[in-house]
Amino acid sequence: MRRHGVMSPEAHGTPPASHRRNLVVLRAGDSSLHEEWIADGPRDFDLFVSYYGRSPGRYSDSADHYELRRGPKWPALADLLRERPELLEQYEVFWFPDDDLAVRTEVIDRMFAFFRAYQLCLAQPALTLDSYRTWNTLLQDRRYHLRYTGFVEVMAPLFSRQALQLCAGTFDESRSGWGLDWVWPQLCAKAGLQGIAVIDATPVRHTRPVGGELYRNHPEMDPRRDAAAVVQRHGLKEIRAIAKYSFERCVRDAQLPWTTRFVFWLKRLNGRRKHLRRA
């Protein structure tokens, strides 16, 4: 395991260059499930653990980058990215998952591979059918590899470098994160970035009730007020009512037409005959 030091927001070093170009940035508490994410050997991503729990140094041995930082997820990530601008130069694709997601290493690797192969700018993995969830439309649809949409949730968004450069400035506009997921697709669209999707081929399981630990740690938080402020700031009037239904296209396995399959069957038959004559 390569680890780039135990850091705090006030004091951190510049880590050595990595050959990996995918970065998982995790806000981890004391019940984080992320050690499962890196348990299966070689992987195609680095892990940045931004720890907010009660035992400084916890999880530092399982991280490529590490820091101790208090506060809610999205404002803390905003501060982290402002203080670590070199991350946007070092990495190309970024995942910001909650720490209560159950997923294996190989599934995360495939998720990044799908994101790259389809040249997406913004995405999220689908949720397994037994997940705690807010929107049923984000549950895995096993008929598809991915579905193009106009909305991804704050629970586990993926950003391309370009999309993150556009959207990172909004991260501290909502302490709860509510409303940010309505803004990001709009910013990407205005900048001409295309490709927003739910990746059904690589589902993750959300293991705990939505928002539970966040609201326990920050009882003063008012998600609905946060969302209303974001909507007003960005002029998004109807987006909450329609965003979760903004599915447009899908990618799935498709069988070749029977005529094409018949032609290839004939070609295979002819190939066998030629082989037998030469034998």
Assess if residue 168 is contained within a domain.
Answer: yes
Assess if residue 278 is contained within a domain.
Answer: no
Assess if residue 105 is contained within a domain.
Answer: yes
Tens of pLDDT, residues 141-177: 999 999 999 989 999 999 999 999 999 999 999 998 9
| Chain centroid, CA 182 distance in Å | 15
**Mean pLDDT score of the chain:** 88
Assess if residue 277 is contained within a domain.
Answer: no
φ, ψ at 237 (rounded to 5°) = -80, -55
CATH of the domain at 239: 3.90.550
Residue 2 has pLDDT above 60, yes or no: no
Cα–Cα distance measured from residue 18 to residue 6, given in angstroms and rounded to the nearest whole number? 17
Assess if residue 157 is contained within a domain.
Answer: yes
Residue span of the structural domain in which 58 resides: 6-272
Using alpha carbons, select from 103, 74, 75, 85 the residue that is nearest to residue 161: 85
Assess if residue 132 is contained within a domain.
Answer: yes
> In the prediction, which pLDDT does 171 show?
97
Assess if residue 55 is contained within a domain.
Answer: yes
Assess if residue 1 is contained within a domain.
Answer: no
Tens of pLDDT, residues 216-232: 555 576 888 998 898 88
The total of structural domains in the chain comes to 1
Structure tokens at 189: 């669209």
